Structure 1
Amino acid sequence: MKGMGMMPPRQSKPMSEINVVPYIDVMLVLLVIFMVTAPMLTQGVKVDLPETTSEPIQSDKNVESIVVSVDSNGAYFMEIGDESSQPMALESVRDRVSKILAQRSDREVLVRGDENVGYGTVVRLMAQLQAAGASNVGLITEAPAGNE
């Protein structure tokens, strides 16, 4: 009886597969971290919007809006997409909006005015936006707390 009870040792080949389970775990943790932190990354100017009931503006999702904000001190800020600016003069706002609309005239222009700012400040801003070539200017408001 040849080799009874004695098996020759097997030659094991090196494993050529990568264990991806730890990488999947790391990717899921990163996904959760980014999902939690992404809403906190929004930047903007602190503005107390007037509360009123109004119909939402129908906007084209492919076109970024130009948002001009007026804070309670009457300072002007521009927001284009995710980019926010420093306080600027009214003439600078007009010049910058004019240059942007000259390149792409289909952008919508929205005004976010603090409820404590004077009416004349917002009207002067809207007049300058119209002079810059904005044919339609929308006003951003917040829904009252009871109407959700």
Structure 2
Amino acid sequence: MLLIIFMITAPLMSHKVKVELPQATLEEKPEITQPPITLAVTANGQVYWNDEAVTRDMLDARLAVLAQQTPQPQVDIRSDNITKYGVIHEVVQNVRRAGIRKVGFVSTPER
């Protein structure tokens, strides 16, 4: 039975879909009118708003104010490499529920 499953799925795994990505036509850099807000999430779940520790209630209140700004600044989320995904997911959901449209993730470049 297992052999039959592999025989059916193996050809599907070997095909690669070729996708042609659009070319960037950025002639001038966009002007950044507001610096991004950085939310740091530690492994124990503590959240920092631009390096200031905040509680969940404070985070929700600040995000609500941020969502009302025009234009909205971007919110960048960074975390420890050992932070569980569920903790990060909870923070991202809080940001999305507040109505923030620009969310990014900060990581270190590969070596």
Task: Using structure 1 for the length normalisation, give the TM-score.
Answer: 0.50
3-state DSSP of counterpart to 1:69: strand
Residue 141 of structure 1 corresponds to 107
Unpaired runs of 5+ residues, structure 1, are: 1-57
Contact 1:94–1:131 (CA<8 Å) still a contact in 2? no
Q: How many residues align?
A: 83
Whether 1:130 aligns to 2:101 is no
Residue 66 of structure 1 corresponds to 37
CA distance in 1: counterparts of 2:54 and 2:89, whole angstroms: 17
Residue of 56, 63, 73 corresponding to 1:107: 73
Out of 126-135 and 99-108, give the one that drifted further: 99-108
Between the aligned residues of both structures, percent identity stands at 18
Deviation at 1:90, TM superposition (A): 2.2
Unpaired runs of 5+ residues, structure 2, are: 1-28
CA distance in 1: counterparts of 2:80 and 2:58, whole angstroms: 20
3-state DSSP of counterpart to 2:104: strand
Whether 1:97 aligns to 2:63 is yes
Residue 23 of structure 1 corresponds to none
Pairwise CA RMSD? 1.9
Task: Using structure 2 for the length normalisation, give the TM-score.
Answer: 0.65
CA distances 1:61-113 after superposition (whole Å, capped 9, x unpaired): 2221111110122100001xxxx31x222232121021123133421111011
Contact 2:73–2:102 (CA<8 Å) still a contact in 1? no
Runs of 4 or more consecutive aligned structure 1 residues displaced over 3 Å after TM superposition: none
CA distance in 2: counterparts of 1:136 and 1:104, whole angstroms: 12
CA distances 1:1-54 after superposition (whole Å, capped 9, x unpaired): xxxxxxxxxxxxxxxxxxxxxxxxxxxxxxxxxxxxxxxxxxxxxxxxxxxxxx
CA distance in 1: counterparts of 2:46 and 2:30, whole angstroms: 26
Please say which structure displays the higher CA radius of gyration. Answer: 1
